[in-house]
Amino acid sequence: MRDKTQTNSAAPGDRLIRAGALVFFVGAVATLVTVAPLFLGTTPFPTYMFGLSMLMGVGFLIAGAGVLRSVAAGRRQARAGARPS
């Protein structure tokens, strides 16, 4: 076996990255919905929509935490494989 990791197994941090991407896209849609009335000349949306736009940053941070967790797991695995027997 060249690689012991299954192709369908989830590495540490994968769920955080997926959740972060989902939250980011929800925030992106909220941002588009919030900005659209400014260009269309209609009445602006309520203030809570601007708060939902902040989900873009939150999603970015969640995904970043997932990447860092994945990197840390990879470093631990490499360190464990490099130890002499």
* CB-based contact 56:33 (threshold 8 Å): no
Query: For a pLDDT cut of 70, what percent of the chain falls above it?
Result: 86
Length of the chain: 85
Q: Which of 10, 11, 6, 7 is nearest to 71 (CA)?
A: 11
The answer for residues whose C-beta is within 8 angstroms of residue 62's C-beta and 6 or more apart is 16, 19, 20, 23
pTM (2 d.p.): 0.75
Instruction: Give 30-47 pLDDT, tens digit per residue.
Output: 999 888 888 888 888 888
